[in-house]
Amino acid sequence: MSYRIIGDSCTDLPEFLKEDEHFKLVPLTISLDDETIVDDNTFNIKGFLSKLKSSNSYPKSACPSPQQYMEQFDFDGDIYVITLSSALSGSYNSAQLAKKLYLEKHPDKNIEVIDSRSASVGQTLLAYKIKELVEKGHSFQSVVEQVYAFRSSMKTKFVLESLEILMKNGRLTGLQAFICNTLNIKPILGATPEGTICKLDQSRGIMRALSNMAKIIEKDVVKPQERILGIAHCNNYERALFIKDEILKRIPFKDCIIVETAGISTMYANEGGIITAY
In tens, the pLDDT along 81-118 reads 999 999 999 999 999 999 999 999 999 999 999 999 99
14 contacts: CB under 8 Å, gap ≥ 6: 124, 257, 258, 259
Model confidence over 121-153: pLDDT tens digits? 999 999 999 999 999 999 999 999 999 999 999
For the 156-277 domain, the top CATH level (class) is alpha beta
CATH architecture type of domain 3-153: 3-Layer(aba) Sandwich (3.40)
**Which one-letter DSSP state was computed for residue 155?**
-
Residue 182: the pLDDT is: 60
> What is the largest distance, in Å, between two alpha-carbon atoms of the chain?
57
Could you give the residue range(s) of every CATH 3.40.50.10170 domain in the chain?
Answer: 3-153
Q: CA end-to-end span of the chain, whole Å?
A: 27
Q: What is the pLDDT of residue 136?
A: 97
- Residues (pLDDT < 50) of the chain are 177-178
Q: Find out whether 62 and 110 touch, Cβ atoms under 8 Å.
A: no
Supply the pLDDT for residue 253. Answer: 98
The residues pairing with 3 across neighbouring beta strands, listed in sequence order, are: 78
List every span in the chain annotated with CATH 3.30.1180.10: 156-277
List beta partners, residue 80.
5, 112
- Considering only CA atoms, which of 269, 271, 267, 247 is closest in space to residue 257? 247
CA–CA distance, 57 with 59 (Å, rounded to integer): 7
Burial class (CB in 10 A: 0-12, 13-18, 19+), 82: buried
Q: What is the DSSP letter of 235?
A: S
Average predicted confidence (pLDDT) for the chain: 94
Alpha-carbon gap, residue 259 to 172, rounded angstroms: 24
pLDDT given for residue 173 in this prediction: 60
Q: Which residues pair with 191 in a beta bridge?
A: 197
Q: What is the pTM of this model?
A: 0.93
